[in-house]
A = this chain, B = another copy of it.
Amino acid sequence: MADIRSLHDAVADLVHDGDILAMEGFTHLIPYAAAHEIIRQGITDLTLARMTPDVIYDQLIGAGLVRKLIFSWGGNPGVGSLHRFRDAVENGWPRPLELDEHSHAGMANRYVAGASKLPFAVLRGYRGSDIPTRTETVSTVVCPFTGEELAAVAALNPDVTVIHAQQADRNGNVQLWGLTGVQKEAALAADRVLVTVEEIVDTLEPRPGGVVLPTWVIDAVAEVPGGAHPSYASGYSVRDNAFYQAWDPIARDREAFTRWIEENVRNEQSAKAAVR
Encoded as 1 (CB less than 8 Å from any B CB) or 0, chain A from 153 to 182 comes to 010000000000000000000000000000
A143 in the interface (beta carbon within 8 A): yes
Q: Find the B residue at minimum CB distance from A155.
A: B145
Main secondary structure of the interface of A (DSSP, over half): loop
Q: Find the B residue at minimum CB distance from A124.
A: B118
A144 in the interface (beta carbon within 8 A): yes
Oligomer: number of copies: 2
A128 in the interface (beta carbon within 8 A): no
A119–chain B nearest beta-carbon distance, Å: 4
Residue contact B144 to A120, C-beta cutoff 8 Å: yes
CA distance A139 to B145 in the complex (A): 8
* Contact residue among B121, B142, B146 (Cβ-Cβ distance under 8 Å from A122): B121
A123 in the interface (beta carbon within 8 A): yes
Residue contact B118 to A145, C-beta cutoff 8 Å: no
Chain A residues with CB under 8 Å of chain B are 116-124, 137, 139-146, 148, 150, 152, 154, 206-210
